[in-house]
Structure 1
Amino acid sequence: MKDTLWKENHFQDNIPDADSIQVDDIQTRAEKLRQQANAAVGAKKYAQACELYTQAIELSPCAILYANRALARTKMEEYGYAYMDACKSIELDCHYPKGYYRRAVANFALGKYKAALEDFKKECERRIREQAFAKAIDSDAVKPVSLFETIDYESIIVEDSYQGPTWEQEDISESFCYELIEYLRNQGKLHKKYLIKLLVYAKRYLDQLDNIVSYQVKESGITVCGDTHGQYYDLLNIFQLNGYPSRDNPYLFNGDFVDRGSFSVEVIITLLTFVCYDPLCMLLNRGNHESKNMNKIYGFEGEVKTKYNETIYSLFAELFESLPLGHLLIGNEKGNRKQVLVIHGGLFSRDGVLLEDLQHLDRHREPDQGLMAELLWSDPQKEMGWGVSKRGIGVSFGPDVTCRFLDANQIALLVRSHEMKEQGYEVEADNRLITVFSAPNYCDQMGNLGAYIRFSSTLEPQFYTFAQVPHPNVPPMAYASNGLGSMGLV
């Protein structure tokens, strides 16, 4: 009798009530959303995955969902948001290892190696043991003597087997430029003697420039291009569509020449060759990827070391610090001094910044803090005011911030790059801000168009778009670090 009563009571205690059924239903829906989101990540539909993870989190927040959304945001390069998701994952479950891993990956992608080390010790310690990497993260390290002061390219012997273009005179000839383009197009490799000479000549010129270079636009106008990211054959397509660089057909390339695409060496060599041939036909701005931290992760360092050697990479890294931070285009219209500012990333976390302030920055360093970091890393947002950067560096700035900065500096228009756009460009902030991106089908997978802007002498913009062209069978990121490899989804 006693046993029967216990069984009846036990059975009654375990009858699910309405509330528990509802909880089970919520968890079931959240689990289905998680599985759908995981599938979206597998299909590289990262924005869709983020939306699905968000819906699941709203139903049933847990460490796994936040960690998985952090992964999707990492794939979208929204490292600031990924970091916050990883922190929330750890807050919900301090024993969940992937929360720490995701946070480490976000910090690692941002070049915050010491912070990443706490969560990602094994991977970071391996990198810290590499001498170059240790120097890159040690902000207190003494700056070494410039390689440009000791390098002797004249003593380098050019082997008889070398079939590429030669540069024996003082100046680069026009024929050398075109011979080099065709040689690189056919996957030839410029001899290291001529490459080092090119870097020496380019740095000597770039070091003379201001942080923000004033450029009077001639009657023929100027073409402004955005990120090219090592997509050499698309760069050549721009020249095919718009004409090769010359004094009557000048170009301004707005940073991020390297990384991602696996022909970054060819891109930067071609651009620097035109700089040395005629500085008035090729203007260059620094991007956030012209830095040691980004090059180590996203491929340029590995590509240079594969195609050449560590010394030549060190020369590139030092040269990148000599690149100007922006160009101020000045229109050629009587009675109307119209100006357009071209910088890579965006604006600043406070009002009141003047061009004069930017001229006083020390640009010969890594862009990891202060106004220089914001200039190279920031992005516009639709909302007014300022917001948290999705990248974890710089700031998000609204159209009101844009207009106040431009008005304070008597500038009509801000042109920036730094973000992939489906049509290759986007106009916002009451037509006072343009984003231009010149790497079509970014990383061979995004399906976007590339674009460039033709500015007339009166600084009226015209937009031109183009699709990707074929390239040799070397995939993007072929030389990239494996430090951003991810643990599987849960």
Structure 2
Amino acid sequence: MSLEAEEKLTASKEDIEEAEKFKTQANECFKKQDFNTAIELYTKAIEKNPYLAVYYANRSFAYLKTECFGYALSDASKAIELDKTYVKGFYRRATANMSLGKWKEALKDYEYVTKVRPTDKDAKLKYNECNKIVKKIAFEKAISVEDNKKNIADTINLEAMSIENDYIGPELENGKVTVNFMLGLMDLYKNQGKLHRKYAYKILLDIKSYFMKQPSLIDVSIGDNDKFTVCGDVHGQFYDLMNIFELNGLPSETNPYLFNGDFVDRGSFSVECIFTLFGFKLLYPNHFFMSRGNHESATMNQMYGFDGEVKSKYTAQMAELFTEVYNWLPLAHCLNKRVIVMHGGLFSRDDVTLEEIRKIDRNRQPPEEGPMCELLWSDPQPQNGRAPSKRGVGCQFGPDVTNQFLELNKLDYVIRSHEVKNDGYEVAHNGKCITVFSAPNYCDTMGNKGAFITLNGKDMIPNYTTYEAVPHPNVKPMAYANTLLSLMC
């Protein structure tokens, strides 16, 4: 008998009963979509009785719901280690790997499930869907060798696109975005209309040309008496984006904004969000700023809905063009040489400088490690030091890491996004690391508030405005997401 098996036999009856109580409470919280409390309770169950696979599998599922894919993967693997016949553990691990874009690993687990449960229709469906994706990726990789120099933007022929007589939406004036165009575009979208493909393509081509000329780190100057607004993730929640403008005023040369990544995915009005934001960027290039988020990437877009939404509302060609555009989005902004803003967070190295960020070669899909990856994926943690990321990508960094980075680069504090917060924002690391998240009631389930930050150039003190979600048309989040995600067990 192994040592672990012997230890398992020594678990007291009281601990076993206590663990079951915690699991029951956790399950209730999970049903109410209070996933963070569920995680805490599953953890208590594990502390009382760390030998039951179901506790780890359940916590893995809760971690999946909170996008802690790295932790979810670890828990699922632990469940399998404890019980190699526990099918749900393989399901969870497959889902975690899939969420991290590790399709081959996910396919192995689905394949195992179909072998041990040959009559399980759900398992067979997931295996087939995952297998399709693996084959599709392999095919695309094969042909990409031939098309390596192919540039989608160069294949777009705007002249060949005619405007139909029955089109009633806004029109570019001499090929340019104007205030009237933007007002018309927002009204069109509020009424669930669609921008003509010719204008949509023109905006994408123009915005790509603009971003290609920008460095990876943008310096932003704010006058002493000028207001500046920083928004976090909006994730395709167009009607909440409109509410931000209602509360804080439309973007203009006297009302500048920075949107800090994750404009798309999950919410099913991502096309409306991104064309509104790109339109304002073209209208006010020196007073409207956009940072790349981890969801401005091909893998995330294929999984979480944006790719499917663009193909549904426009074409597969446009979806590819978006990928090209996103590769050129700046990675960070420095406000008045005092505040750095990036989507994710800080680094696994202590010596990263603003100059290094400025020179990052960003025209690519996010790598799995290094400064570019960490700018998009990292998260703060309350304790000092660093830890592996709960997401499985990037790193977690403590207050000492933040202080050292700020001192090295002579900065006051960091603003980042990337994480749902109940109040829409969170101040951590003794006020030196601020999270802002602008998608209220994220995915129509989380019940969180949204927030944005306003500051002025003189003192750069952050002020927080919070707000609730507003109604939207009856199109559910993830409506265009990968089929496998909607099948998640």
Question: What TM-score does the superposition give when structure 2 sets the normalisation length?
Answer: 0.89
Query: Compared with structure 1, are the counterparts of its residues 142 and 413 closer, same or farther at alpha carbon in structure 2 (3 Å cutoff)?
Result: farther
Distance 2:24 2:357 in 1: 48
Query: Compared with structure 1, are the counterparts of its residues 97 and 448 closer, same or farther at alpha carbon in structure 2 (3 Å cutoff)?
Result: same
1:16 is matched with: none
DSSP-derived class of the 1:178 partner = helix
Alignment of 1:310-459 (within 5 A): 310-330=316-336, 338-369=337-368, 370-458=370-458, 459=460
**CA displacement at 1:45 relative to structure 2:** 2.2
**CA displacement at 1:437 relative to structure 2:** 0.9
Confirm or deny that 1:237 pairs with 2:247: no
Query: Compared with structure 1, are the counterparts of its residues 140 and 393 closer, same or farther at alpha carbon in structure 2 (3 Å cutoff)?
Result: farther
1:416-460 per-residue CA deviation (whole Å, 9 max, x = no partner) reads 011111111111222221111111121122222211111202223
Alignment of 1:268-347 (within 5 A): 268-330=274-336, 338-347=337-346
Query: Compared with structure 1, are the counterparts of its residues 159 and 72 closer, same or farther at alpha carbon in structure 2 (3 Å cutoff)?
Result: same
What is the letter of the counterpart of residue 352 of structure 1?
Answer: D
1:169 is matched with: 174
Q: Report if aligned partners of 2:215, 2:359 keep a CA contact under 8 Å in 1.
A: no
Query: Compared with structure 1, are the counterparts of its residues 318 and 487 closer, same or farther at alpha carbon in structure 2 (3 Å cutoff)?
Result: closer
Pairing partner for 1:148 from 149, 153, 159: 153
1:209 is matched with: 214
1:10 is matched with: none
Q: Report if aligned partners of 1:352, 1:405 keep a CA contact under 8 Å in 2.
A: yes
Distance 2:465 2:9 in 1: 59
Confirm or deny that 1:108 pairs with 2:113: no
Q: Report if aligned partners of 1:136, 1:292 keep a CA contact under 8 Å in 2.
A: no
DSSP-derived class of the 1:213 partner = strand
Query: Compared with structure 1, are the counterparts of its residues 299 and 410 closer, same or farther at alpha carbon in structure 2 (3 Å cutoff)?
Result: same
Q: Which moved more, 1:363-372 or 1:382-391?
A: 363-372
1:45 is matched with: 34
Query: Compared with structure 1, are the counterparts of its residues 487 and 374 closer, same or farther at alpha carbon in structure 2 (3 Å cutoff)?
Result: closer
1:11 is matched with: none
Distance 1:252 1:483 in 2: 34
Confirm or deny that 1:69 pairs with 2:83: no
Query: Compared with structure 1, are the counterparts of its residues 51 and 462 closer, same or farther at alpha carbon in structure 2 (3 Å cutoff)?
Result: closer
1:151-179 per-residue CA deviation (whole Å, 9 max, x = no partner) reads 11221111112111112513222111111
DSSP-derived class of the 2:158 partner = coil
Query: Compared with structure 1, are the counterparts of its residues 118 and 287 closer, same or farther at alpha carbon in structure 2 (3 Å cutoff)?
Result: same
Q: Which moved more, 1:120-129 or 1:455-464?
A: 120-129
Distance 1:485 1:161 in 2: 36
What is the letter of the counterpart of residue 353 of structure 2?
Answer: L
**CA displacement at 1:21 relative to structure 2:** 12
Distance 1:347 1:294 in 2: 21
Distance 1:38 1:229 in 2: 28
Question: What is the identity percentage for the equivalent residue pairs of Structure 1 and Structure 2?
Answer: 48
1:74-112 per-residue CA deviation (whole Å, 9 max, x = no partner) reads 111111111110111121122322222211211211122
Query: Compared with structure 1, are the counterparts of its residues 89 and 137 closer, same or farther at alpha carbon in structure 2 (3 Å cutoff)?
Result: farther
Distance 1:138 1:345 in 2: 33
Query: Which runs of 5 or more structure 2 residues have no equivalent in the other structure?
Result: 1-7, 112-126
1:130 is matched with: 136
Q: Which moved more, 1:382-391 or 1:365-374?
A: 365-374
2:481 is matched with: 480
Confirm or deny that 1:249 pairs with 2:238: no
**CA displacement at 1:140 relative to structure 2:** 8.1
Q: Report if aligned partners of 1:222, 1:249 keep a CA contact under 8 Å in 2.
A: yes
Query: Compared with structure 1, are the counterparts of its residues 97 and 413 closer, same or farther at alpha carbon in structure 2 (3 Å cutoff)?
Result: same
Q: Which moved more, 1:259-268 or 1:90-99?
A: 90-99
Bigger radius of gyration: 1
1:84 is matched with: 74
Query: Compared with structure 1, are the counterparts of its residues 182 and 30 closer, same or farther at alpha carbon in structure 2 (3 Å cutoff)?
Result: same
Query: Compared with structure 1, are the counterparts of its residues 171 and 107 closer, same or farther at alpha carbon in structure 2 (3 Å cutoff)?
Result: same
What is the letter of the counterpart of residue 444 of structure 1?
Answer: D
**CA displacement at 1:474 relative to structure 2:** 1.2
Q: Which moved more, 1:442-451 or 1:200-209?
A: 442-451
1:3 is matched with: none
**CA displacement at 1:136 relative to structure 2:** 7.5
**CA displacement at 1:486 relative to structure 2:** 5.8
Distance 1:408 1:239 in 2: 36
Question: What TM-score does the superposition give when structure 1 sets the normalisation length?
Answer: 0.89
Confirm or deny that 1:98 pairs with 2:88: yes
**CA displacement at 1:53 relative to structure 2:** 2.1
Query: Compared with structure 1, are the counterparts of its residues 286 and 223 closer, same or farther at alpha carbon in structure 2 (3 Å cutoff)?
Result: same
Distance 2:170 2:100 in 1: 39
**CA displacement at 1:62 relative to structure 2:** 1.8
DSSP-derived class of the 2:406 partner = helix
What is the letter of the counterpart of residue 38 of structure 1?
Answer: N
Query: Compared with structure 1, are the counterparts of its residues 120 and 467 closer, same or farther at alpha carbon in structure 2 (3 Å cutoff)?
Result: same
Distance 2:457 2:32 in 1: 46
Query: Compared with structure 1, are the counterparts of its residues 391 and 454 closer, same or farther at alpha carbon in structure 2 (3 Å cutoff)?
Result: same
Pairing partner for 1:193 from 198, 211, 214: 198
